[in-house]
Amino acid sequence: MESDIPPKEKIKNYFLFHFQLFEEKLPLISMFMKEQMHPINEQILQRLNYYKDLSDKTTLALLTEVYGKRIAPFQYDILISLKGIMHGYSEFILFHRQPYDFVQLSSTLIEKVDILVEHSKNTFLTEQLWNSKPHCMQEYSVTAFEVQEEVNRWHEIYKGHPIIEDTLSLIEAELKLTNPRPALLNGMMANLKQHDNLQWLALLLKQYIVHLS
């Protein structure tokens, strides 16, 4: 029975389930990142927020079951730290495709949480802050300067790569124009999307193109 499972084993299983599910859905996640076909509408955003809140409550309940009342003063800071660590591992798994031992990863996460709980003294997030009503993010406008900075990062790395080197040079030249041409930039973005490590630049460029019109 589930009630017979030690609390620490429960949270370990929770981590394990999270990463197994993440692995299962990776093809869909990768496709969404590469295509960026559909904007996230309000209904989808509400659904995502619902599952995020549910996940947060589940994680907090498990943390409290494992570590007791001693984490109460900094439980939200622990939760945010844990979410950051899990996000970091998820991102690594996404961009470094190979078989992984998720049981070992779950044990590693338990160790990290143990360290956080043992050594946490200061707190930032209060219950009032945590429960404050979130505000929708304003639409962010990407500037030519931000795109240019990212282009500069990859120039040296892709030196000698004919397609990407030309793509980066064309983007750079277009950004210097008074009226950059969206059609040309869209073509360059398609080239970038063929390379996993250029997805962020492709996304920045896409957001920049949106605000040209």
Q: Are residues 24 and 91 in the same domain?
A: yes
Q: Which has the higher per-residue pLDDT, 1 or 99?
A: 99
Within 13 Å, how many C-alpha atoms sit on residue 146's CB side?
Answer: 14
Pair 11, 80 in one domain:
yes
- Cβ within 8 Å of residue 167, ≥6 positions away: 188, 191, 192
**Mean pLDDT across 118-144:** 76
pTM assigned to the model: 0.57
Q: Binning pLDDT at 50, 70 and 90, where does residue 170 land? A: very high
**Would you say the C-alpha torsion 127, 77, 33, 106 has a positive or negative sign?**
negative
Strand, coil or helix: 69: helix
Asked whether residue 138 is assigned to any structural domain, the reply reads no
Examine residue 137 and state whether it is found in any structural domain, yes or no. no
- Residues in CB range of 155: below 8 A, 6 or more apart: 165, 168
Q: Are residues 148 and 113 in the same domain?
A: no
Q: How many distinct structural domains can be found in the chain?
A: 2
Residue 136: inside a domain, yes or no? no
Domain enclosing residue 126, as ranges: 2-130
